[in-house]
Amino acid sequence: MKKIIIPGVAAAAVIVLAVAALPLLISGDMVRTSLLDRARAITGREMQFAGNPKVLFWPFLGVEISDVNFRDDIGGATAPPILSMPKLKGKLSIASALQGNVVFSEFQFIRPKFNLKVYSTGQTSWSFPDGKVWGVLEDARKLRDQTKPDGPVDVSKLEDIRLGKFIVEDGIVEFENEITGIAESITNLNGTMDWPTIRSASSFSGHGIWRGDEILLKSSAQLPVMLFAGGSSSVTLDVDSNPFVLRFSGEANRLSGIFASGQMSLVTPSLRRLANLFGAELEPGSSLSEFKASGNVSATFEQIEMSDGKFNLDGNEASGTLRLASAETGNLRLSGTLAYDSFDFAPYSLGAEMTATGDDGASLIEIASSIEADLRFSAAKASIGNLNVTNLAGGVIAKGGKLMFDIGNANLGAGILVAKLEADQDGGLPVFQGTFNLSGIDLGQFPAFSENSRIYLSGASDLRAKISARGNGFQELVRNLDGTVNVKMASGKISGLDYPGIIAGLESGNTEAAGTVFANAAAATNVTQLEINANINRGVAWIRNSGFLVAGRPAHLIGKIDLPLGSMALWSYVSDKTATPEQQSRPTGLPSDTSRRFFLGGTLTQPLFLPEISEGTIRAGSSAVTPTRESGAPAVNN
């Protein structure tokens, strides 16, 4: 036991004596000289501090200096120092200290403040053209030029300057760019950068507050010296925060303007919040929420592009390419091409009160005032409420607060839809303009028609519409609707309308059949060569120059439909004679003198038909009959 204890005690005594002798081996002047030389070697600038260095023995052997700062030589005497801190601690190598040498392996920046500035001349406050590090960077640039583009760089040819570990505690970073007007700040910065020598790899791990959110960051670079010298290096970057989580692994390259390329993934619980974090101004809403993206990324300081990407926004999954850049207006600019298997428009609204959930958050029009977009998209299937389309192809453009949708093609049932819609704001109200071309569409197959009106067309139809409206919410838009509508159908049915039955009743003098008739959903009138023309003004559709053939006879419609109320006031004329060849090709125009006239009134959901009324009688040919009504139906006054 004594053989073990005695050598141990002796070794401990030697260590104690050595530590006790350190103040004799290391003087304050040596520390001061070493600190100044080290700072000058790295930065080429003089480090200023107050008082004499204080030697520390706990929690490590080192020194402490106060009121440290590096001045900004570019900004002049009035410019704040590029780095200032109340305390700087340096950790000394014990082995070197025992030999009487001052070697720092670690520095601790206590509450530092970094002032980084890009001046209007293009100069930067953090350039160190006179330091040894800058000289090594010049040598690295020459080495890069002498190396083949795909060849490895032999960094052993560079002078290996000691750098060390740098720890930041409770720091602040202030950044300003006089050219772009951008100003940023990071507070509560805590982190560690480990870069032992200029030829070695480096790593950083830390966290800070940026734009109100805590950001955790880890990064590494295999050859940072070559990256700073305008070359390339493999890098990794991990960012964790509440607004987003980002992972990147690839290469940073400054040879030809490409800053980074590699594999990246991004996840955010709210794309709105992420956009706001990077400068957009979007109000909360039901859409633009959870977003995921992963793929190959290439980025410059002006633009980031993800290709062969997988994207998921609001539950809609797509593949393709996206680009995000800064537009000339200062807004973010989004562009790209996306392909969806299925797309649901339910989360998105054009006006502030038009979402199905009643959410009064920001609409797509309001988003268009904060971000610019030029997107091309396709979807095998897409749904807009009860409307389902296939093979959708189109685009979205947002610029200057205006939003434009262009549907180049979409299969709607057995037909085709082509449409353009523009959305803007005027005096705080959404304003819409659109053109719609539907070819070969069977309108009766869509719930939007059959569920809201007992009278609708069944059969392949062509519809052309040009409309405009302004207002918040569906009802207000309908009240302010203007435009024109043209519908053509070569042959089909008018469901809910029994023209032959009414005509037969009147011609036979059957008073029961000739009375007031309420719409029968099961009834249908076979028609050919149908054409309906409507001019819409302030929500009222005025029907003119409209007609069709019923059992070979020309029929006409004249009157109005109040769209907000859903009420009708139409006269329908049916000729006593078979259509002429001209009428057979297009039975529009004015009715003949021998036409029988019927009134189509009530509402779209409960329409009714009355033969012409005159002084309490219904005129049917030369016969006069008394109005009657179906059993259970309410009486109708003249």
Better pLDDT: 113 or 73: 113
Higher pLDDT, 611 or 174: 174
Give the angle subtended at the CA of 176 by the CAs of 118 and 247, to the nearest 5°: 95
pLDDT-derived band of residue 306, with 50, 70 and 90 as boundaries? very high
465 versus 497: which is more confidently predicted?
465
pLDDT at position 210 over 90: yes
Structure confidence at residue 14 (pLDDT):
44
Q: What is the C-alpha to C-alpha distance for residues 285 and 273, in angstroms, rounded to an integer?
A: 10
pTM for this model (two decimals): 0.74
Per-residue pLDDT, 21: 46
Q: What is the DSSP string of 344-386?
A: E-TT--SSTT-STT---S--HHHHHTTEEEEEEEEEEEEEETT
Token code pair at residue 455:
């009278």
Of 20-24, 233-237, 370-374, give the lowest mean pLDDT range: 20-24
CA distance linking residue 70 with residue 80, whole number of Å: 9
- Name the least confident of 81-90, 96-105, 447-456, 571-580: 96-105
Residues 224 and 233: their CA atoms lie apart, in Å, by 6
Higher pLDDT, 503 or 626: 503
pLDDT at 502: 66
List, for residues 398-437, the tens digit of each pLDDT value.
887 788 989 999 998 889 999 999 988 887 788 889 999 9
Q: Is residue 267 scored above 80 in pLDDT?
A: yes
Dihedral angle sign, alpha carbons of residues 103, 105, 108, 114: positive
